[in-house]
C-alpha cells in the first residue's frame, strides 16, 4: 500500500497539471462602444429636465431644455427687421429702374431737341448768308444809283437780323447741350445714390440674416439632446429654475453593444497574458457561491505601460448557472489562466525562488564588496 501510494503520489507530482493565474489590479465591465458624455455648452437657467438615471433614450431625444427667452426675443426682432428691409430694397430698386429709364428718355428727348435746334441753326445760317448776298448786290446797285439808299439800308438791317438769328441758334444748341449734360448728371447721381442706399440696406439685411443664423445656433445650444441611442448611465440632478454653467457634464449615454471587460495587469505580466487565454471574473458585490461566475477570453493585450499597468481587453460570456445582472460599469477582478504546470515544476520553482531570495539577502551591499 505504501509503495502504491508513493507511486500514485509520484505520478500525480509529475503528470498532474495545475492552472496558474495572473490577477488584475483592477477591472471594469464596459460596452465595446465608448460612452458618450453629454455637456452643456452655454450658461443658462433650467426650464425642463428629462434626465432619469438608467432611462433608455434614442438619438435626438430631448434631455434638457434651458432658458433662451432673450435669444428668442432678439431673433423675432431681427426677423421683423429683415421683413421690413425687403420691401424697402424692392421700392428703391423700382425707383432706380425708373431713374435709369428717365435717363434714357431724357437722352432721346435731348437728341430730338438738338436735332430741331440744329435744323433751325442751319436755316438761320442759310438765310443769313442769303441776306448777306442780297445786301452785297443792293450795295452794288446803290453805287450805280439804280436803287435807292433806303433799300440798301433795309437789306442791311435784314442781313444783320439774320446773323443775330444764326448766333441765337448757335447759343440755343450750346444751351441744350449743357442742359442735357446737367440733367443727365443729376439723373446719374440719383441712380448712384439709390444704388448706394440699396447696397447699405442689403448690407443691413445680410448682417441681420447672419445674426439670425447665430441666434438659431445659440437657441439650439439651449436644448440638450441625446447624441446616440442607449441608456443614461450617469446624470446630474437638475431642477427647473436652477442654473447650469457652460461645460458642465449633465449625463453619460451608454450605447448598446457587446459587453467587454477592461482590466489592468502588472507590467511583469507582459508576454504571459496573451490573446485567446481563458479568464474568469469575480465581482465584489456578487459572491460566486450565490450568483455564480462569469467567464471570458482575452481579446486584446496592450504592450505600453500606463502608470505601471498594462491594459487588457476581454470578451465576457455569462455562465448558465450565473445570475449576475451583467451591465456596463460593474467593477470586477479578472483572473487569466496563463499556463498549467505540474506540482513538481511548482516545487522546483518555489525552491528556486527561495534560494534566490536567501542569496540576495546574504550578499553584502555593493559598496562593501572587495
Pairing of β 259-266 and β 230-235: unpaired
Closest CA to 85 of 215, 219, 191, 212: 212
pLDDT the model gives residue 131? 62
pLDDT the model gives residue 151? 57
Report the mean per-residue pLDDT for the chain: 79
Q: Is the distance from CB of 282 to CB of 335 less than 8 angstroms?
A: yes
Is residue 46 within a helix (H) or strand (E), and if so which, with residue range? strand 44-49
Q: Give the separation between CA 238 and CA 47, rounded to whole angstroms.
A: 10
* Greatest Cα pair distance in the chain: 191
Distances (CA, A) of 284 to 1, 131, 316: 46, 133, 17
Task: Work out the pLDDT band at 169, boundaries 50, 70, 90.
Answer: low
Is the model's pLDDT at 66 over the cut of 90?
yes
pTM over 0.85: no
pLDDT the model gives residue 208? 92
Most confident of 164-173, 177-186, 234-243, 250-259: 234-243
Q: Give the separation between CA 260 and CA 314, rounded to whole angstroms.
A: 6
Is the model's pLDDT at 210 over the cut of 90?
yes
Q: Give the separation between CA 266 and CA 273, rounded to whole angstroms.
A: 10
Helices (H), the chain: 2-15, 69-143, 149-221, 288-291, 343-362
pLDDT the model gives residue 369? 41
Closest CA to 302 of 350, 345, 330, 266: 266
Residue 118 burial (CB count, 10 A): 14
Look up residue 326 and give its three cell numbers. Answer: 451583467
Tens-digit pLDDT profile for residues 330-354: 888 888 888 777 777 777 777 776 6
Average pLDDT of the segment spanning 152-177: 65
Is the model's pLDDT at 184 over the cut of 80?
no
Overall residue count recorded for the chain in this entry: 370
- Give the whole-number percent of the chain exceeding pLDDT 70: 74
Look up residue 318 and give its three cell numbers. Answer: 455569462
Average pLDDT of the segment spanning 194-201: 89
Q: Is the distance from CB of 247 to CB of 232 less than 8 angstroms?
A: no
Average pLDDT of the segment spanning 241-246: 90
Task: Work out the pLDDT band at 39, boundaries 50, 70, 90.
Answer: very high
Look up residue 217 and give its three cell numbers. Answer: 445656433
Is the model's pLDDT at 361 over the cut of 70?
no
- 361, burial (CB in 10 Å: exposed 0-12, middle 13-18, buried 19+): exposed
Non-local CB neighbours of 202 within 8 Å, separated by 6+ positions: 89
Average pLDDT of the segment spanning 40-60: 90
pLDDT the model gives residue 109? 65
Average pLDDT of the segment spanning 123-137: 65
Q: Give the separation between CA 251 and CA 232, rounded to whole angstroms.
A: 7
Which three-class secondary structure state does DSSP give residue 370?
coil
In this structure, of 104-108, 197-201, 219-223, 278-282, the range with the lowest mean pLDDT score is 104-108
Q: Give the separation between CA 305 and CA 300, rounded to whole angstroms.
A: 15
Q: Is the distance from CB of 218 to CB of 69 less than 8 angstroms?
A: no
Q: Degrees (nearest 5) of the Cα angle 232, 235, 240?
A: 120
Average pLDDT of the segment spanning 94-116: 71
Query: Using CA of residue 111, residue 112, residue 116, residue 122, what is the dihedral sign?
Result: positive
Non-local CB neighbours of 78 within 8 Å, separated by 6+ positions: 208, 211, 212, 215
DSSP 289: H
pLDDT the model gives residue 77? 93
Task: Work out the pLDDT band at 357, boundaries 50, 70, 90.
Answer: low
Q: Give the separation between CA 77 and CA 222, rounded to whole angstroms.
A: 19
Sheet containing strand 230-235, edge to edge, reads 36-39, 249-255, 230-235, 56-57
Q: Which residue has the higher pLDDT, 103 or 309?
A: 309
Q: Is the distance from CB of 29 to CB of 330 less than 8 angstroms?
A: yes
Q: Give the separation between CA 363 and CA 370, rounded to whole angstroms.
A: 12
pLDDT the model gives residue 107? 67
Q: Is the distance from CB of 261 to CB of 281 less than 8 angstroms?
A: yes
pLDDT the model gives residue 370? 36
Closest CA to 15 of 339, 346, 341: 341
Amino acid at each position: 500500500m505504501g509503495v502504491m501510494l508513493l507511486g500514485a503520489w509520484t505520478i500525480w507530482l509529475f503528470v498532474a497539471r495545475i492552472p496558474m493565474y495572473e490577477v488584475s489590479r483592477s477591472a471594469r465591465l464596459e460596452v465595446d462602444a465608448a460612452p458618450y458624455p453629454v455637456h452643456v455648452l452655454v450658461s443658462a437657467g433650467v426650464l425642463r429636465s428629462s434626465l432619469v438615471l438608467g432611462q433608455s433614450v434614442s438619438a435626438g431625444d430631448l434631455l434638457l431644455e434651458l432658458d433662451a427667452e432673450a435669444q428668442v426675443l432678439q431673433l423675432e426682432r431681427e426677423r421683423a427687421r429683415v421683413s421690413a428691409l425687403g420691401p424697402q430694397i424692392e421700392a428703391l430698386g423700382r425707383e432706380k429702374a425708373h431713374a435709369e429709364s428717365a435717363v434714357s428718355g431724357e437722352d432721346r428727348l435731348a437728341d430730338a431737341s438738338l436735332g430741331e435746334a440744329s435744323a433751325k441753326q442751319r436755316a438761320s445760317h442759310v438765310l443769313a448768308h442769303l441776306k448777306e448776298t442780297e445786301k452785297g448786290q443792293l450795295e452794288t446797285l446803290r453805287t450805280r444809283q439804280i436803287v435807292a439808299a433806303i433799300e440798301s439800308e433795309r437789306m442791311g438791317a435784314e442781313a444783320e437780323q439774320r446773323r443775330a438769328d444764326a448766333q441765337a441758334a448757335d447759343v440755343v444748341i450750346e444751351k441744350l447741350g449743357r442742359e442735357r449734360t446737367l440733367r443727365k448728371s443729376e439723373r446719374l447721381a440719383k441712380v448712384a445714390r439709390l444704388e448706394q442706399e440699396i447696397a447699405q440696406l442689403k448690407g443691413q439685411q445680410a448682417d441681420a440674416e447672419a445674426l439670425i443664423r447665430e441666434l438659431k445656433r445659440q437657441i439650439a445650444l439651449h436644448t440638450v439632446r441625446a447624441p446616440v441611442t442607449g441608456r443614461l448611465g450617469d446624470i446630474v440632478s437638475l431642477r427647473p429654475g436652477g442654473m447650469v454653467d457652460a461645460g458642465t457634464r449633465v449625463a453619460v449615454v451608454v450605447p448598446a453593444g457587446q459587453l467587454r471587460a477592461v482590466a489592468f495587469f502588472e507590467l511583469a505580466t507582459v508576454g504571459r497574458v496573451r490573446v485567446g487565454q481563458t479568464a474568469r471574473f469575480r465581482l465584489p458585490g456578487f459572491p460566486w457561491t450565490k450568483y455564480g461566475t462569469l467567464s471570458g477570453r482575452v481579446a486584446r493585450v496592450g504592450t505600453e505601460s500606463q502608470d505601471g499597468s498594462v491594459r487588457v481587453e476581454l470578451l465576457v460570456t455569462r455562465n448558465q448557472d450565473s445570475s449576475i445582472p451583467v451591465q456596463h460599469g460593474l467593477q470586477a477582478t479578472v483572473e487569466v489562466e496563463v499556463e498549467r504546470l505540474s506540482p513538481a515544476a511548482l516545487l522546483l520553482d518555489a525552491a528556486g525562488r527561495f534560494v534566490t531570495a536567501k542569496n540576495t539577502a546574504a550578499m553584502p551591499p555593493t559598496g562593501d564588496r572587495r
